[in-house]
Structure 1
């Protein structure tokens, strides 16, 4: 279930054939003790996660691939989506590897026939923020909530009903639709979307600017079983940041609540090896160094 890669061409073909499925690549060497220790864990994860493609690359036999990714410590595990490296893990940490696989396997389960998926895993939370969020109920609580509409986790506004949600993706993405779930009484009503802003837009600018797309929502639009809001897909083809401005809510109250905010789409596809970024840390970091 873990495919052994024997050449650079085979590696390219693997990434292309995977389509929307995540690809977990194990960079290893026969002389690497930690690599041998992790091999049973990799095999176990492969057997339990059919929605993820597993492969391994011997850095001594397929140097072109390991060099392209700057692998300097072993084992290195790299997670790819649509040909792009999304995350990497350096070192023999079974629990961290399982968490990485589970994170992307969950997204893979919801991939539709067009390759669109829940893109929460592609959000860089360190660069994502919300203006006017309540300290007790911040944005991050709904980015990791266990289920749509879970009442124990929600984003809530603080001083008034407005929210500016600034989402940064770890790479360029195409956004097809947006799922919003909220309780009717405090659900968003007027929503504007902006893309590729360098930083969060202020409230006055958000109100006066036209935005890329705007919605007047009803209570039916924010139910857990409602269809996602369809975006003008042609306008959301190369997105690095998405700003969601909530201007008011259904009940015209001073508090807006949002239980889920899920962008749906896919990474901007590429399998050009020259575009790939360094995936491992400096020589001598956790694990065995590549010589």
Structure 2
């Protein structure tokens, strides 16, 4: 399939989403009489020809003037055209809209690049978050809650700050979309340092600012401490974590100990899955309109004075991006 699928009915549209569970489905809502739609049509055709052939994405078109498609137009709140929606596993993940064809073209090209880099091959994980990714697709340590997405892309990585980490462990590695090297090599003593360990004691303070206000639903933490080390000070998994929201900067350790957190989390041994990931549900009503998150690792599950983090995933709904016009990453309708 190289050309976009021209949707003729709501049933056909639903079937297309069901038949493409492992790759993004990019849908253009357009009008044959709209000038901006006409200008973007060749670009959309080129993207479809390039990415569909390599099974990176599926492309479709919905003519908003078609009487039988009015229900789709209403369901996805399409008020102006052209509008582009990107679906993953049947849910809207991105919505791209603009009255400026040049700006919209820039957004679509970047979106296409992101899709290609994510490498949504047909051999992806489907609904399973425990499988490793191939061909560049994002690795997931645990399943996503229904209706929500990984919003780690909303993090302002330049503003990340991690206190009490050993200096040769990169903080950005925590948010890598790659499978942890400890799992890739079948052991947690990998020489590749794509994880973080604490320095003088078992505590860490991670300041995570966002590019836009977000809603946080779930925190996923992956920790893969070595199991075959004779070192008495081998790092352990975190046990107690405190979360603080909307701080203008990172906290100090004394301050984090003294003030009330937004939520305190106790992680038990049974909370870790086979990927070494704990899937932590947050008190959703307390994590609305969040501009920054401080993650305070208080102590570990053991006697060690070191803690290890391999991956951090933030799951929820992201707000409107501040760059490149109106590029929204959203989850399904809130129903939980």
Cα 1:219/1:52, change in 2 over 3 Å: farther
Residue 139 of structure 1 is matched in structure 2 by: 171
Per the normalisation by structure 1, the TM-score is: 0.63
Residue 113 of structure 2 is matched in structure 1 by: 98
Tell whether 2:205 aligns with 1:176: no
Tell whether 2:226 aligns with 1:211: no
Contact 2:239 2:299 in 1 (8 A): yes
Tell whether 2:160 aligns with 1:128: yes
Cα 1:23/1:132, change in 2 over 3 Å: farther
**What secondary structure sits across from 2:217 in the alignment?**
strand
Q: Please give the alpha-carbon distance, in whole angstroms, between the structure 2 residues aligned to 1:52 and 1:162.
A: 47
Contact 2:138 2:177 in 1 (8 A): no
Task: Map 1:23-34 onto structure 2 (within 5 A).
Answer: none
Misfit runs of 4+, over 6 Å = 28-32, 35-38, 51-55, 62-67, 107-111
Unaligned runs of 5+ in 1: 5-20, 56-61, 79-87, 90-95, 269-274, 281-291
Cα 1:130/1:22, change in 2 over 3 Å: farther
**What secondary structure sits across from 2:206 in the alignment?**
strand
Contact 1:69 1:277 in 2 (8 A): no
Q: How far did residue 112 of structure 1 move? A: 5.1
Residue 313 of structure 2 is matched in structure 1 by: 262
CA-based RMSD: 4.3
**What secondary structure sits across from 1:142 in the alignment?**
helix
Cα 1:240/1:167, change in 2 over 3 Å: same
Unaligned runs of 5+ in 2: 7-23, 29-35, 63-80, 85-95, 121-136, 226-234, 326-336
Q: Please give the alpha-carbon distance, in whole angstroms, between the structure 2 residues aligned to 1:39 and 1:205.
A: 55
Aligned residues: 238
Q: How far did residue 235 of structure 1 move? A: 0.9
Task: Map 1:238-249 onto structure 2 (within 5 A).
Answer: 238-249=289-300
Q: How far did residue 141 of structure 1 move? A: 1.4
Q: Please give the alpha-carbon distance, in whole angstroms, between the structure 2 residues aligned to 1:195 and 1:22.
A: 34
Cα 1:141/1:234, change in 2 over 3 Å: same
**Higher RCO, Cα 8 Å, sep 6+:** 1
Per the normalisation by structure 2, the TM-score is: 0.56
Residue by residue, what CA displacement relative to the aligned partner does 1:177-234 show, whole Å, maximum 9, x if unpaired? 1111213551112210011111111111111112011122233334426551111111
Contact 2:26 2:60 in 1 (8 A): yes
Q: Please give the alpha-carbon distance, in whole angstroms, between the structure 2 residues aligned to 1:128 and 1:258.
A: 15
Cα 1:277/1:104, change in 2 over 3 Å: farther
Match of 2:107 among 77, 102, 108: 77
Cα 1:99/1:50, change in 2 over 3 Å: closer
Residue 46 of structure 2 is matched in structure 1 by: 40
Residue 90 of structure 2 is matched in structure 1 by: none
